[in-house]
């Protein structure tokens, strides 16, 4: 252990001295930025020691390593995680306390590393935490976006996007490694010289790695996340001047998900994908060759996990390196590639399955395109040889109808294809990717997602952690031990403890919301929360309609009012900047909030708030404060969900459909401890096949729902134009693919059951405790162990 952290006094005196030396300031006058930077540097030095040790151990043995390639890593803040995983919290906290300082305030200075959109990116971050904490040799590989996911402001009820300038104060955790830079080629032409392809690119882009340490919990292991930064080289297209070119290059690592509605945007996104995939593969190969003589051992020493299709181009890039640069025969290269790559699918939504137009793909990546063509030619031949008819072959082809199907490339080029929850994997195998699953029955497998219980329970809910400590002294190392809480579900003592914990977390969240948005929530009300990206399939709209229904009832039905337990409905969601309809839903929620919160007749019973700029750090305050977790997607559409797991682990009951991992939550807790409603995945599928969804008939026959839908356009909301929500009512009645009206009645009834259950305090907290106790299964440690043994075949560092 680094001696500065020996005890609180040593820490404090070093902390003060560094402030004086680095910033010429005394502690009493130091800014939060200065304190944060000094603390970050001190912690980084401890990390450096362990990092060196881990590197040395790894270079002295020949363990197989996993590389997790992902376009997104939604890391959030690292300071708390790093301090806690290194076991330094106590000393730092006590040291600062001597001077009356609060560690929380210093931690809050760190910006979230928001290098992701939602579930897929946060999953990658949870996985890295589990990999390091379980001591596996595993690394992340992604892009160092200059700007992360936009910062959301709400103005007049509308979402406004602001650039997320997360690097403005520097980033204490990253280490730039100029020496390991790699050049990535784009454009140009391929000439065949003596039978060999020689590639003459138009431009070479410098990929500079920045390594961010990933600190294992209490095990001395540090792995890393390698993020690539795009920088110019001398080699640029002849028609471009150096300054314009410089800014163009920097765009490649400029923004997460740049607008891809234009051709320019699409080119940029493809360049991003190739940029970090190619840089990642090349650095792996170089490292491999330093240690081992040739490539024959690659599949035994390296596995590349392709997170969704965005990095699936690694299949072609690895082939290019092996065949063009290292002279391997095609068959041998293909054998190595397909034993090295594995692919995870995260969605069945057709619009999210990437297909690149050949017109874009070929000019940007001419050599890669040729290789994809060759992979495709051989694959199609194999199918024809097997007796597939031409129609089937076209359907499965990697290139067809002028487009490159990235999912097909990933499936054909990988030895494993996995879904992210049992239901999702079954849908992949039996419906969406049925032909591929028949072709490669052994490739398909399930790995139900998980979340790191360290960030989502230990760090963000110390109150619940202390309760856990009373029943197990090993739950942090073995989250299955959470189950020991089960036998306490029927004891008054534990119900009271959990109730008290909930109240504390609700008070804290309510205070934050009041401070930031001026809306006062009653911490004794039911906190009903839906936080996730805004998307039609997630059905925030159904939640909003139900709140309108409740409001109408409270105004018109005294029995209903008498029976109604006070509720606070909390939303948090970002809408993609070009997703017009999703933004309308945000406006609707805010319009409802405005009306409802200001009605003295109902405001003791009903409050609505849309929290601004929901992100990882906000989630850490929200998850523990929830009573009722809204997981209400149209069945079959949400591949897994991971917010559902975070809420459950913190003692919320789920109100939800049998979709994604909700199915597994229901199996674990039993149907009496979850509020299920709505069509299941088979039923949704059948309705779509039979085309029997008739929203107009539901509207005509459901008096209360009829009123709500009319209120969208009849002037019920005074502060917006009468037509503001016309497209919402039109969508609901005429073109809704997500069956909102179909499931509304079931949803309403499930809410009524939740309302009644909450009033029975004993029953509610018993169910809460059962949910917490059963949530250990959803630790990403379990998920990562399954990946490690069933896909990666890797072993932990001793
Ligand atoms: C992407 C896009 C992009 C274009 C517009 C529509 C659209 C809709 C969905 C997506 C999702 C991309 C993949 C993704 O983020 N999947 C999420 O992965 C999580 C981790 O496995 C999982 O929990 C979520 O259910 C799944 O939606």
How far out from the chain centre does Cα 434 lie? 27
Q: Which of 124, 352, 576 to mutate to test the pocket of ligand 1 (most atoms within 8 A of CB)?
A: 352
Q: Does ligand 1 come within 6 angstroms of the Cβ of 423? A: no
Would you put residue 204 in left (φ > 0), alpha (ψ -120 to 50) or beta?
Answer: beta
Task: Check pLDDT > 70 for residue 1.
Answer: no
Q: Which of 119, 126, 306, 644 to mutate to test the pocket of ligand 1 (most atoms within 8 A of CB)?
A: 119
Q: Catalytic site residue 768?
A: no
Read off the pLDDT of each residue in 353-366 and give the average, rounded to a whole number.
96
End-to-end CA gap in the chain? 19
Q: Which of 591, 642, 768, 783 is catalytic?
A: 642
Domains in the chain, ordered, with CATH?
Answer: 1-61+78-111 (no CATH), 63-73+115-146+169-449 (3.40.50.2000), 455-778 (3.40.50.2000)
Q: Which of 64, 346, 408, 583 is catalytic?
A: 346
Q: Does ligand 1 come within 6 angstroms of the Cβ of 133? A: no
Which pair of structure tokens corresponds to residue 715?
A: 């002037």
Residue 232: what pLDDT? 92
For 197, the 3-state DSSP assignment is strand
pLDDT tier at 293, thresholds 50, 70, 90: confident
CA 203/CA 576 separation, integer angstroms: 31
For 227, the 3-state DSSP assignment is strand
Q: Which of 578, 582, 639 to mutate to test the pocket of ligand 1 (most atoms within 8 A of CB)?
A: 639
Instruction: Compute the distance from residue 257 Cα to the ligand 1 centre, in Å.
Output: 13
Closest by alpha carbon to 316, among 339, 293, 333, 294? 333
Read off the pLDDT of each residue in 617-639 and give the average, rounded to a whole number.
98
Instruction: Compute the distance from residue 116 Cα to the ligand 1 centre, in Å.
Output: 11
Instruction: Compute the distance from residue 502 Cα to the ligand 1 centre, in Å.
Output: 30
Q: Output the residue whose Cα is nearest ligand 1's atom 8.
A: 352
Ligand 1: atom nearest CA of 641 is 23
Q: How many beta carbons lie within 10 A of that of residue 365, not counting itself?
A: 28
Work out whether strand 628-631 and strand 189-193 pair parallel, antiparallel, or are unpaired: unpaired
399-400, strands of its sheet edge to edge: 355-357, 403-405, 399-400
Residue 566: what pLDDT? 98
Q: Which of 73, 347, 577, 637 to mutate to test the pocket of ligand 1 (most atoms within 8 A of CB)?
A: 347
To the nearest 10 degrees (0 to 180), the angle between helices 540-556 and 580-597 is: 20
Residue 521: what pLDDT? 98
Q: Which of 236, 408, 429, 532 is catalytic?
A: 532
Q: Which of 77, 282, 533, 535 is catalytic?
A: 533
Task: Check pLDDT > 90 for residue 135.
Answer: yes
Q: Does ligand 1 come within 6 angstroms of the Cβ of 638? A: yes
Work out whether strand 403-405 and strand 567-572 pair parallel, antiparallel, or are unpaired: unpaired
Ligand 1: atom nearest CA of 579 is 5
Read off the pLDDT of each residue in 693-709 and give the average, rounded to a whole number.
98
Q: Does ligand 1 come within 6 angstroms of the Cβ of 368? A: no
Does residue 247 or residue 256 have the better pLDDT? 256
Residue 238: what pLDDT? 73
Residue 240: what pLDDT? 77
Q: Does ligand 1 come within 6 angstroms of the Cβ of 640? A: yes
Q: What is the mean pLDDT of the chain?
A: 96
Residue 351: what pLDDT? 83
Task: Check pLDDT > 70 for residue 774.
Answer: yes
Instruction: Compute the distance from residue 783 Cα to the ligand 1 centre, in Å.
Output: 19
Q: Which of 70, 116, 120 to mutate to test the pocket of ligand 1 (most atoms within 8 A of CB)?
A: 120
CA 110/CA 33 separation, integer angstroms: 9
Q: Does ligand 1 come within 6 angstroms of the Cβ of 258? A: no
Do 473 and 435 meet the contact criterion of CB atoms below 8 Å apart?
Answer: no
Instruction: Compute the distance from residue 640 Cα to the ligand 1 centre, in Å.
Output: 9
Q: Does ligand 1 come within 6 angstroms of the Cβ of 644? A: no
Task: Check pLDDT > 70 for residue 85.
Answer: yes
Q: Catalytic site residue 555?
A: no
Instruction: Compute the distance from residue 119 Cα to the ligand 1 centre, in Å.
Output: 7
Q: Output the residue whose Cα is nearest ligand 1's atom 3.
A: 352
Q: Does ligand 1 come within 6 angstroms of the Cβ of 351? A: yes
Instruction: Compute the distance from residue 82 Cα to the ligand 1 centre, in Å.
Output: 28
CA 65/CA 280 separation, integer angstroms: 13
Would you put residue 132 in left (φ > 0), alpha (ψ -120 to 50) or beta?
Answer: alpha
Do 186 and 202 meet the contact criterion of CB atoms below 8 Å apart?
Answer: yes
Read off the pLDDT of each residue in 527-533 and give the average, rounded to a whole number.
98
How far out from the chain centre does Cα 40 lie? 25
Q: Does ligand 1 come within 6 angstroms of the Cβ of 578? A: no
Task: Check pLDDT > 70 for residue 357.
Answer: yes
Q: Does ligand 1 come within 6 angstroms of the Cβ of 349? A: yes
Q: Which residues are registered as beta bridge partners of 779?
A: 451
Could you tell me how many residues make up the chain?
A: 798
pLDDT in tens, 451-460: 999 999 999 9
pLDDT in tens, 572-593: 999 999 999 999 999 999 999 9
Q: Does ligand 1 come within 6 angstroms of the Cβ of 352? A: yes
Q: Catalytic site residue 533?
A: yes
Q: Output the residue whose Cα is nearest ligand 1's atom 9.
A: 352
Q: Output the residue whose Cα is nearest ligand 1's atom 18.
A: 120
Closest by alpha carbon to 205, among 224, 180, 241, 229? 229
Q: Which of 309, 349, 417, 576 to mutate to test the pocket of ligand 1 (most atoms within 8 A of CB)?
A: 349
Phi, psi of 110 (to 5 degrees): -70, 130
Q: Catalytic site residue 642?
A: yes
CA 427/CA 417 separation, integer angstroms: 13
Task: Check pLDDT > 90 for residue 676.
Answer: yes
Instruction: Compute the distance from residue 416 Cα to the ligand 1 centre, in Å.
Output: 20
CA 509/CA 623 separation, integer angstroms: 10
Instruction: Compute the distance from residue 643 Cα to the ligand 1 centre, in Å.
Output: 13
Percent residues over pLDDT 90 in the chain: 94
Task: Check pLDDT > 80 for residue 258.
Answer: no
Read off the pLDDT of each residue in 97-120 and give the average, rounded to a whole number.
96
Q: Catalytic site residue 108?
A: no
CA 111/CA 49 separation, integer angstroms: 25
| Alpha-carbon separation of residue 536 from 532, 576, 706, 738 (angstroms) | 12, 12, 20, 7
Q: Catalytic site residue 310?
A: no
């Amino acid at each position: 252990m680094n001696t500065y952290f020996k005890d609180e006094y040593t820490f404090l005196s070093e902390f003060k001295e560094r402030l004086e030396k680095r910033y010429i300031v005394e502690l009493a006058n130091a800014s939060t930025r200065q304190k944060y930077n000094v603390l970050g540097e001190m912690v980084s030095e401890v990390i450096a020691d362990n990092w060196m040790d881990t590197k040395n151990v790894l270079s002295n043995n020949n363990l197989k390593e996993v590389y997790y390639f992902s376009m997104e890593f939604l890391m959030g803040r690292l300071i708390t995680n790093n301090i806690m995983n290194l076991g330094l919290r106590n000393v730092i906290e006590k040291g600062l306390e001597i001077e009356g300082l609060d560690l929380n305030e210093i931690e809050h200075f760190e910006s979230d590393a928001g290098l992701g959109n939602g579930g897929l990116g946060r999953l990658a971050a949870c996985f890295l935490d589990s990999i390091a904490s379980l001591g596996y040799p595993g690394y992340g590989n992604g892009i160092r976006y200059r700007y992360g996911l936009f910062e959301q402001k709400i103005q007049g009820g509308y979402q406004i996007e602001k650039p997320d300038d997360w690097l403005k104060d520097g980033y204490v955790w990253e280490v730039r490694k100029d020496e390991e830079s790699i050049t990535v080629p784009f454009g140009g032409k391929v000439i065949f010289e003596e039978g060999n392809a020689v590639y003459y690119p138009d431009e070479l882009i410098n990929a500079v790695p920045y390594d961010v340490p990933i600190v294992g919990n209490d095990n001395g292991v540090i792995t890393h996340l390698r993020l690539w930064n795009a920088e110019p080289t001398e080699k640029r297209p002849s028609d471009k001047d150096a300054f314009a070119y410089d800014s163009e290059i920097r765009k490649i690592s400029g923004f997460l998900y740049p607008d891809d509605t234009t051709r320019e945007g699409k080119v940029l996104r493809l360049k991003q994908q190739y940029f970090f995939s190619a840089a990642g593969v090349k650095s792996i190969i170089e490292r491999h060759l330093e240690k081992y003589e040739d490539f024959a051992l690659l599949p035994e020493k390296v596995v590349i996990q392709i997170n969704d299709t965005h990095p699936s181009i690694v299949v072609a890039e690895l082939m290019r390196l092996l065949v063009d640069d290292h002279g391997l025969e095609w068959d041998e290269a293909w054998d190595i590639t397909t034993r090295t790559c594995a692919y995870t699918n995260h969605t069945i939504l057709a619009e999210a399955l990437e297909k690149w137009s050949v017109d874009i793909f070929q000019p940007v990546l001419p050599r890669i395109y040729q290789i994809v063509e060759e992979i495709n030619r051989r694959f199609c031949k194999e199918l024809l040889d097997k007796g597939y008819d031409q129609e089937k072959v076209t359907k499965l082809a990697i290139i067809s109808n002028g487009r490159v199907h990235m999912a097909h490339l990933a499936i054909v080029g990988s030895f494993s294809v996995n879904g992210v929850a049992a239901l999702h994997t079954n849908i992949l195998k039996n419906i969406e990717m049925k032909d591929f699953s028949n072709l490669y029955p052994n490739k398909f497998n399930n790995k139900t997602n998980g979340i790191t219980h360290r960030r989502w329970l230990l760090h963000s809910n110390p109150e619940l952690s202390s309760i856990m400590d009373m029943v197990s002294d090993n739950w942090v190392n073995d989250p299955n031990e959470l189950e020991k809480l089960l036998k306490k579900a029927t004891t008054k003592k534990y119900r009271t403890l959990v109730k008290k914990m909930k109240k504390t977390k609700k008070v804290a969240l309510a205070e934050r919301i009041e401070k930031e948005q001026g809306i006062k929530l009653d911490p004794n009300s039911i906190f009903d929360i839906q936080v996730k990206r805004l998307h039609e399939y997630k059905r925030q709209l159904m939640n909003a309609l139900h709140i309108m229904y409740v409001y109408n009832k409270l105004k018109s039905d005294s029995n209903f009012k008498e029976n109604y337990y006070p509720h606070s409905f909390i939303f948090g969601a970002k809408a993609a900047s070009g997703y017009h309809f999703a933004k309308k839903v945000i406006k609707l929620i805010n319009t409802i909030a405005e009306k409802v919160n200001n009605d003295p007749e109902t405001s003791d019973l009903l409050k609505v708030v849309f929290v601004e700029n929901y992100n990882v750090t906000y989630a850490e305050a929200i998850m523990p404060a929830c009573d009722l977790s809204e997981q209400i997607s149209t069945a079959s559409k949400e591949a897994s969900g991971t917010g559902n797991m975070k809420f459950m682990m913190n003692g919320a009951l789920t109100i939800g459909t049998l979709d994604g991992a909700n199915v597994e939550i229901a199996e674990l807790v039993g149907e009496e401890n979850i509020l299920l409603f709505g069509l299941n995945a088979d039923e949704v599928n059948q309705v779509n096949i039979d085309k029997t969804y008739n929203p107009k008939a539901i509207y005509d026959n459901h008096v209360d729902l009829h009123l709500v839908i009319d209120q969208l356009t009849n002037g019920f909301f005074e502060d917006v134009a009468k037509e503001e929500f016309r497209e919402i009512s039109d969508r609901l009645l005429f073109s809704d693919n997500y069956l909102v009206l179909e499931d509304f009645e079931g949803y309403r009834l499930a809410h009524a059951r939740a309302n009644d259950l909450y009033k029975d305090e004993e029953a509610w907290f018993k169910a809460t405790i059962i949910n917490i106790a059963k949530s250990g299964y959803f630790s990403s440690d379990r998920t990562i162990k399954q990946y490690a043994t069933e896909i990666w075949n890797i072993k932990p560092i001793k």
